[in-house]
Amino acid sequence: MKKLILTLTLLTGMLLTAQEMRPRMHHQNRGDLTAEQLATLQTKKLTLALDLTNTQQQEVQK
């Protein structure tokens, strides 16, 4: 029983640590982008996800 509790505690700790590191790594890659570059990147992501038209893309970028 003690081994089971110890194993579950260790697994939970590893999972929580892995989840915390992921967003940090994601933001580090964008640290050197300007506000305009970030807006363009987000617009492109929305365009792909929502299949936006050119007019809609321009509205999102504003």
**Structural domain boundaries enclosing 59:** 34-62
**CB-based burial label for 53 (10 Å; 0-12, 13-18, 19+):** exposed
Kindly report the pTM of this predicted structure: 0.46
Residue 5 — very low, low, confident or very high, per pLDDT cuts 50/70/90? very high
Whether residue 27 is found in the same domain as residue 38: no
Whether residue 50 is found in the same domain as residue 25: no
More confident residue, 27 or 8: 8
Q: How many domains does the chain have?
A: 2
The tens digit of pLDDT for each residue in 33-57 reads 788 888 888 888 888 888 888 888 8
Whether residue 3 is found in the same domain as residue 25: yes
Whether residue 58 is found in the same domain as residue 41: yes
Whether residue 26 is found in the same domain as residue 42: no
Tell me the average pLDDT across 16-30.
62
Whether residue 54 is found in the same domain as residue 40: yes
- Contact, 60 vs 46, CB < 8 A? yes
Whether residue 11 is found in the same domain as residue 26: yes
For 38-62, the DSSP string reads HHHHHHHHHHHHHT--HHHHHHHH-
